[in-house]
Amino acid sequence: MPELPEVETVRRGLAPALVGRRIARVEVRRPDLRFPFPENFAERVSGKTVNALERRAKYLIAALSSGDDLIMHLGMTGRFTIVTGNEAHVPGQYVYDAQSDPRHDHVEMRLAGGSRVIYNDPRRFGFMLLIPAVEREFHPLFDGLGVEPLGSDLTPEYLARRAHAKKVNLKTLLMDQRIIAGLGNIYVSEALHRAGLSPNRVASSLSDAAGRPTERARRLVPAIKDVLAAALAAGGSTLRDYRQADGGSGSFQNEFAVYDREGNLCPRPGCGGQIKRVVHTGRATNFCGRCQR
């Protein structure tokens, strides 16, 4: 499933085409994705202008001129592409990737001016919802979400408070969306390696008896931010399904230190350990047993 860097990369690719544009018409080609479309979905979106395109955790949020927020989730295989007719590929515009199967083009938005935004999702694990903007923070999807990892709220002090007296392991703590929103398997594994921390270590080791951050927490927070920033700079990680809004590939998978590297030697200079695999709450975790303590 796309994680924060992939979703943010898609947002940045879509924003120049959507923000400030009127959606002249919406065509919905099936009654549901993961969930049924909202009642009168096409009619409620058609004719509205996109005032802003935001991201919260792994959700894309288009603020519509009607006062509704269009909530979009990519699921496992969802992707947005932009058709600009026969126009040349110029900055801020993206050309439809002909390799995606048009049979899975489930939603098409025709924008004023002639361009189109198409949502394609072979496995249909994505979804689209409409909720009043004033109700967003109280909606079950958003109520209780943790801090954004690239924002100023994620500090060693915050992480220590949330980890204090917790008996779960570090991997489980960091995957909890109620603590940090948007982190997933790839970037948790990579951040723990950068911080030199074992995913098996108990979460409470991030705080002292008074709930203050330990040296481990002070290493982990910048490692999280650094790995996300590097992934964003690379356009995310392309595995099987994810592509950027222009149909291109992200390249951060070429920089993985541990994720999907089981059996390889640790890339940390002077380490020489071997990448191992364990399972936490049903998710595989790769780490170096020598330098991650």
Q: Using an 8 Å Cβ cutoff, are 64 and 49 in contact?
A: yes
What separation in angstroms does the CA of 78 have from each of 12, 61, 74?
Answer: 16, 15, 4
Strands (E), the chain: 23-28, 50-56, 59-64, 68-73, 79-83, 105-111, 116-120, 127-132, 275-280, 283-288
Instruction: Give the amino acid at 219.
Output: R
The one catalytic residue in 34, 212, 276, 283 is 283
Question: Is position 2 annotated as part of the catalytic site?
Answer: yes
Catalytic residue among 3, 6, 8, 190: 3
Rounded distance between C-alpha atoms, residue 113 and residue 41, angstroms: 22
> Could you give the CA distance from residue 197 to residue 190 in angstroms, rounded to a whole number?
10
Four-residue CA torsion sign, 173, 9, 223, 137: negative
Q: Does the annotation count 157 as an active-site position?
A: no
User: Active-site residue 116, yes or no?
Assistant: no
Residue tagged active-site, from 58, 162, 194, 261: 58
| CA–CA separation, 94 and 247 (whole Å) | 8
Task: Decide if 54 is catalytic.
Answer: no
Identity of the amino acid at 215: E
List, by residue number, the catalytic residues: 2-3, 58, 283
